[in-house]
Amino acid sequence: QKEVEQDPGPLSVPEGAIVSLNCTYSNSAFQYFMWYRQYSRKGPELLMYTYSSGNKEDGRFTAQVDKSSKYISLFIRDSQPSDSATYLCAMSSNDYKLSFGAGTTVTVRA
Amino acid sequence: NAGVTQTPKFQVLKTGQSMTLQCAQDMNHNSMYWYRQDPGMGLRLIYYSASEGTTDKGEVPNGYNVSRLNKREFSLRLESAAPSQTSVYFCASRGGGNTIYFGEGSWLTVV
């Protein structure tokens, strides 16, 4: 079993819809949770960062962490075609290494 | 504001050839990383350097060597390339809160 599980999709939604992405994990020591966005043939870029449990909102993006369930989510409101990308979850404990999900490919249809 | 810069962007190698991927960051970060990304496998850590002068193996270090030249630069060397090393390679550095910033990637094909 992988340390971080993420449904690879693909996920296709119409413009304006809410995109819901999630990851589950098995390591209870994880405290730092991140979401990265990766456009085709580009490097991953940090989208959202959350420490420990709770919600964080940044514009159209909301990240949620539920440590009791070992479950994290990313919501994209009012999705745009420019949101079409692969979204990677990542998490770490207090050491130097991140564990990544395999990524979910999202397409927002105009 | 360059961030993490890696070269070359594209490279084709023959089996058995050697090459070095170069990486530099201008964010004054202590920790740097090399990942490879393969379809369905996600990002896998090859080597990392927690600070200048130290390097450690990640999940998939076989066939690779690294050098942390100074605080800014972290290179990845393939001594004898194999087709299984065909991949996209990403260099990264670590900022506050364990956030990692990636370069644009190096596409390597070994034939």
Query: Tens digits of per-residue pLDDT, B34-79?
Result: 999 998 788 999 999 999 989 999 999 999 999 998 999 999 999 9
Chain A hits for B36, CB-CB cut-off 8 Å, are: none
For residues A11-35, average pLDDT:
95
- Minimal Cβ distance to A46: which of B42, B58, B99: B99
Structure confidence at residue A34 (pLDDT)? 93
Question: How many residue contacts between A and B have a Cβ separation below 8 Å?
Answer: 51
The token duo for A9 is 């999709």
| pLDDT at A6 exceeding the cut of 90 | yes
Chain B hits for A103, CB-CB cut-off 8 Å, are: 42
Chain B hits for A100, CB-CB cut-off 8 Å, are: 42-43
- Minimal Cβ distance to A43: which of B45, B99, B105: B105
What digits encode the pLDDT tens for the residues A50-109? 988 889 999 999 999 999 999 999 999 999 999 999 999 999 887 778 899 999 999 999
Structure confidence at residue A94 (pLDDT)? 74
For residues B85-107, average pLDDT:
91
Give the separation between CA A25 and CA B2, rounded to whole angstroms.
33
Whether the CB-CB separation of B27 and B93 falls below 8 Å is answered with yes
Look at A7-11, A18-22, A93-97, B74-78 and tell me which has the smallest mean pLDDT: A93-97
Structure confidence at residue A52 (pLDDT)? 86
Give the separation between CA B70 and CA B30, rounded to whole angstroms.
10
Q: Is A49 on the interface with B (CB under 8 A)?
A: yes
Give the separation between CA B86 and CA B20, rounded to whole angstroms.
14
- Minimal Cβ distance to A98: which of B98, B103, B105: B98
Nearest to B30 by CA among B5, B6, B48, B56: B48
For residues B8-20, average pLDDT:
97
Structure confidence at residue B1 (pLDDT)? 59
- Minimal Cβ distance to A96: which of B31, B97, B105: B31
| pLDDT at A16 exceeding the cut of 70 | yes
| pLDDT at B100 exceeding the cut of 90 | no
Give the separation between CA B61 and CA B79, rounded to whole angstroms.
12
Contact B97 A51 (CB under 8 A): yes
